[in-house]
Each structure stands twice: as structure tokens, then as C-alpha cells.
């Protein structure tokens, strides 16, 4: 039975797609068959992040319109053999929670993890889709606006009945903490009110790698954080170490 994980945030641009790419990559490298489903209709990006922009033949739009079944529409990611990708359509396409549920059910015996990138902006459909996940990863940066939006989102999920949530604090740097934008990580956790699963440094190597569609280098501080979070998703205890620059 695969675990369905929705990666979401209140504010846009917090790093949801980067987190999906990093977790997908590290889970696959750890040997887990992983599928990334991108819901960023009209604004796909995971194809670029994995360097397969010109190799995508089908996307979620083909599945929603029943031109293809989900398994036939996924693309294999060459940089990680266990990793598959179901890209968002290039155009805006209507989608319901039931359709995403049906897609997940049709492929879940082939994958250990299905990670859903909810994309920018949130609407009631996305809320319903996210509700279906076994786990919601709420991504926030240390920016106070982002923290407040993450708290509001998390409260909404909680009120709708999904209590299985974890917080990822992304783009953490000494500069942000030094400028007293936030005093420390505990303050972010308290404000969002969700248990922490990992902290990802602001890491230029990750920006370059995802921009170029090449693997995140092994000496990248963010890759180490993605690797640790992936292990924690599987129930492994990995101590938290925060290395910022
Ligand atoms: N840990 C990180 N270190 C450095 N840069 C990062 C990190 N995480 C994300 N970024 C950069 O931040 C920008 C936004 O990231 P990303 O596209 O993943 O955000 P998003 O939440 O998916 O955005 P949207 O809401 O538009 O879907 C990108 O340029 C990305 O490379
Ligand atoms: Mg995105």
C-alpha cells in the first residue's frame, strides 16, 4: 500500500516543488518506488527540475480526459531509476478530488510513495485533494507572512479532520535568524502549530541543480536535509542537525 503525501503551503513560492523534487529524488535513491504528481495546472516545473522537459509525452491532462491511463502517462526520471513523474498539464484543466483519488488508487500498487505537489494558490478542490492524503507536509520559510499563512492552512486542514501533518521549514539561513526575522526554529514551530519533520537550508547548489535539471550534488546541505526527511517518512530516527550558511 503506498503512502500518499501532499506537499502544500499557504503562501506561494515557499519551495513546495523543490521539496517534492528533493524528497522524490532521495526516496528513490533510498530504493523506494516513488511517483510525483504535479497539480500546478498551467505552471508545470518538475519536468525542468528533473531535466526531462523534452521527454514528457503525456501529462495529467491526458489522464483526466481518459486519453491515457495513469500508469502509461508517467515519465521515468533518468537521474533516479525508482522515480516517476506525472506532470501537470500545460493548460488550466478542471480537476476534482475524486479524479485524483481515482488516479492514486489506480497506481498505488506500483509505488511505495505518491507525492502530490499542490502547486501555487489554494482553492476548495485542492483542500479536498490534500485531505485525502495520508500525510500533509506544510512547507514554510522563516518569513513571518509565510509562517502565518502556513498556520492558517494547517488550521483549515485540522478543522476539516486531517490531523496528520508535519512541518518543513525551508530556506533557513543564518542571515534570516541573524536579522531577527525569527528568533529561532521553535518560534516557527509554535506559530504554525505543527510537529517539525525537517529543516532545509537555503542552498544555492539546489537552486542551480533544479534550474539546470541535474541531480542535486551530494555535498549540498539541502540534499542532506531531504535525505533525512525521507528517512523520517519511513519511520527512521534521524537526529536534526541544522547547518546554515
Ligand atoms: N532550500 C532552498 N534553497 C535555495 N533555493 C530554494 C530552496 N527551496 C526553494 N528554492 C528556490 O525558491 C524558488 C521557489 O521554489 P519552488 O518553485 O519550489 O516554490 P513553490 O512553493 O513550488 O512555488 P509555487 O507556489 O509557485 O508553486 C525557486 O527558485 C527555488 O529554486
Ligand atoms: Mg511549485
CA 17 – ligand 1 centroid, Å: 6
- Cβ(147)–Cβ(140) below 8 Å: yes
Q: Domains (ranges, CATH) in the chain?
A: 3-233 (3.40.50.300)
Place of cell 492514486: 104
List beta partners, residue 3: 113
- pLDDT, residue 11, reads 86
User: Three-class SS of residue 61?
Assistant: helix
Residue-by-residue pLDDT tens, the chain, 245 positions:
689 999 999 888 999 999 999 999 999 999 999 999 999 877 889 999 999 999 999 999 999 999 999 999 999 999 999 999 999 998 877 788 899 999 999 999 999 999 999 976 666 777 888 888 999 999 999 999 999 999 999 998 999 888 899 999 999 988 776 665 556 788 899 999 999 999 999 999 999 999 999 999 999 999 999 999 999 999 999 988 766 66
> Which of 13, 19, 142, 209 has most ligand 1 atoms within 8 Å of its beta carbon, as the pocket-test mutant?
13
Q: Which ligand sits closest to the CA of 120?
A: 1
Q: How far apart are CA 159 and CA 15, in angstroms?
A: 25
In this structure, the residue with its CA closest to atom 2 of ligand 1 is 202
CA 81 – ligand 2 centroid, Å: 23
DSSP 2: P
Residue 68 CA, chain-centre distance (Å), reads 24
DSSP symbols for 55-90: T----HHHHHTTSS-HHHH-EE-TTSTTEEEEPPPS
Quote the pTM value. 0.95
CB atoms closer than 10 angstroms to residue 29:
19
**E strands along 72-195, which residues?**
75-76, 83-86, 113-117, 135-140, 165-172
- Ligand 1: residues within 6 Å at CB? 9, 12-18, 40, 45, 119-120, 170-171, 200, 202-203, 206-207, 210, 222
Amino acid at each position: 500500500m503506498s503512502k500518499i503525501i501532499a506537499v502544500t503551503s499557504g503562501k506561494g513560492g515557499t519551495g513546495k516543488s523543490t521539496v517534492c523534487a528533493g524528497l522524490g529524488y532521495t526516496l528513490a535513491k533510498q530504493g523506494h518506488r516513488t511517483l510525483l504528481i504535479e497539480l500546478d495546472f498551467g505552471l508545470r516545473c518538475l519536468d525542468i527540475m528533473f531535466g526531462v522537459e523534452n521527454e514528457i509525452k503525456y501529462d495529467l491532462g491526458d489522464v483526466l480526459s481518459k486519453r491515457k491511463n495513469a500508469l502509461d502517462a508517467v515519465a521515468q526520471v533518468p537521474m533516479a531509476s525508482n522515480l516517476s513523474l506525472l506532470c501537470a498539464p500545460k493548460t488550466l484543466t478542471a480537476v476534482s478530488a475524486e479524479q485524483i483519488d481515482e488516479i492514486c488508487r489506480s497506481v498505488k500498487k506500483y509505488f511505495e510513495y505518491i507525492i502530490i505537489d499542490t502547486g501555487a494558490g489554494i482553492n476548495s478542490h485542492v483542500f479536498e485533494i490534500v485531505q485525502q492524503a495520508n500525510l500533509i507536509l506544510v512547507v514554510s520559510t522563516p518569513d513571518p507572512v509565510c509562517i502565518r499563512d502556513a498556520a492558517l492552512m494547517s488550521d483549515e486542514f485540522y478543522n476539516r479532520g486531517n490531523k496528520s501533518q508535519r512541518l518543513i521549514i525551508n530556506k533557513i539561513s543564518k542571515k534570516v535568524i541573524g536579522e531577527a526575522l525569527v528568533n529561532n526554529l521553535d518560534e516557527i514551530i509554535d506559530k504554525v502549530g505543527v510537529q517539525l519533520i525537517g529543516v532545509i537550508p537555503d542552498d544555492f547548489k539546489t537552486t542551480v541543480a533544479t534550474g539546470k535539471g541535474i541531480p542535486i550534488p551530494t555535498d549540498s546541505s539541502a540534499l542532506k536535509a531531504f535525505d533525512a526527511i525521507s528517512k523520517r517518512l519511513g519511520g527512521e530516527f534521524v537526529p536534526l542537525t541544522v547547518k546554515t550558511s
